[in-house]
Structure 1
């Protein structure tokens, strides 16, 4: 069996974990009324290093040949941070209005508008990569977020065996033999078949907050517009703070779970909902930190950065 099929199993196994991060410390600003609103356009552009991503094109990442045939990831819980530190959130828990699937194959999916943002001077933007724990339920979404549920189902961003969404999907080939690449990221709920290996450690959630400083301090006027172009550098998947070698022999069973979090942190950084650095524990331990996981406390961006503000 080719090595990447083992990596695929790792990604699947990772979603058997859930998080209990607290969210009470954030004092979210109530979204402004339309009378005091401007519009902020977000545009996500995928790259590999300094090259704009082309599907089915060969790149080199951490010394390995890699080609992407499918690139999708979910963006939720967007907030703009004012110069004084106050947050202006956009339809915070409404996935129908504020849940987006970035799909490299669909250009229109990479640009969307936040149409009720307060007139203010802003210093940064924050968004979630994936779906936070209290919203990450297919069962609940069918009732409360039917549009988002349908969109993720259509895009293949749901687990078929677990009650949760897929947060990111990177498929294609790698290596000189064009072995199959399939990296899936997400957090689901415990399944019956995984009871013996499931780890209740609250720090093993794949959802991440990403905070990006704006290169300027733009002012959004009443009834005005801003455009923020965000770069997602897919080279960071394998060539981020954690270097990942796809041809490496990966242990079986629960040790696979530990192999996934370097990729999770490369993609989304390791900032939790409270702005604190997530520390990942070993499978089966609530005290021992994961060996070999390099992620500095300052890593809040993962593969994302701001290209420009217009």
Structure 2
């Protein structure tokens, strides 16, 4: 009986050992070695959403919605080769209502296998024609291109940029408020941007972009006549609606600077 008990004990010990799981190492988080930071400003100062600022023409200006797509973000190596960072990204300022958040801006962070010295970065402002030929059903719902809210079925196009807000043309009196909404889209509005910049990805690097909203709406010679034409969803290329939004996205591209 003693031998049988000893045998059972040994069997149970062996069974318990066989059931013990091998230790599992915790997942290793990828190191992000490239961050693209975007800040919205007005006349060089951080611009929180829903904050009044004084425009050059004396009216009050307030931005409430501001977001845009980027396509085919690429960085250039010293030998001239271009390395794809991301085929599509979405920069959204809508939640940046506090000054501290506006000063921090929006980050897009990436882990690149390619390291070493780089000399430039380029991307498209908007959705590139090949991606714009697709629709949200072609993408995961986890990405901005998979969100039906970013797509116009009537135009067979994504919404490239959204700029919404209001002006007050009579800051010291009543009756001057005008809400505005400009949504750009369709292939003819896509803007290609190229920036020269020396940087190294052997260590974490941040490329800092600013976009001055004053230069989008009040650029000398290319001002947006908000009070006269305050709403546009792009429209046909022959229309005034198309022309005003084309000016908005063109000004955005010109106001986008790499520090």
- Does 2:62 correspond to 1:86? no
Look up the match of 1:264. 249
Change (3 A) 1:178 1:148: same
Partners of 1:75 and 1:127 within 8 A in 2: yes
Mark the CA change 1:171 to 1:249 in structure 2 (over 3 Å): closer, same or farther.
closer
1:46/1:104 contact within 8 Å kept? no
Q: How does 1:240-251 map to 2 (within 5 A)?
A: 240=219, 242-246=221-225, 249=228
| 1:73 lines up with 2:80 in the alignment | no
Stretch deviating more after TM superposition (125-134 or 240-249): 240-249
Picking from 129, 132, 137, the partner of 1:136 is: 132
Radius of gyration: which is bigger? 2
Give yes or no for contact 1:120–1:219 (8 Å, CA) kept in 2. yes
Q: CA deviation at 1:150?
A: 6.6
Counterpart CA distance in 1 for 2:53 and 2:32 is: 39
Question: Equivalent residue for 1:101?
Answer: 91
Compute the TM-score of the two structures, normalised by the length of structure 2.
0.70
Distance of 1:182 and 1:66 partners within structure 2: 13
Quote the residue 1:39 is aligned against.
33
Within 5 Å, give how 1:172-183 maps onto structure 2: 172-174=165-167, 175-176=169-170, 177-183=176-182
Corresponding position of 1:95:
none
Runs of 5+ consecutive residues of structure 1 not aligned to the other structure: 1-36, 93-97, 189-204, 269-301
Could you tell me how far apart the structure 2 residues matched to 1:85 and 1:78 are? 15
Q: Could you say what secondary structure the match of 1:134 adopts?
A: helix
Contact 1:40 1:227 in 2 (8 A): yes
Contact in 2 for aligned 1:73/1:167 (Cα 8 Å): yes
Instruction: Determine the structure 1 residue equivalent to 2:210.
Output: 231
Aligned length: 209
Corresponding residue of 2:17: none
User: d(CA) in 2 for partners of 1:46 and 1:83?
Assistant: 30
Question: How far apart are the structure 1 equivalents of 2:190 and 2:46?
Answer: 26
RMSD of aligned alpha carbons = 2.9
| Runs of 4+ with deviation above 4 angstroms | 106-109, 247-250
Aligned equivalent of 1:211: 194
Report the CA distance between 1:219 and its aligned residue: 1.8
> With structure 1 as the length reference, what TM-score do the two structures score?
0.59
**CA drift at 1:170:** 0.9
TM-superposed deviation, 1:40:
0.5
Cα shift readout 1:198-254 (whole Å, capped 9, x = no counterpart): xxxxxxx1111111222xx22221xx321112112111212336421425656xx94
* Contact in 1 for aligned 2:33/2:112 (Cα 8 Å): yes
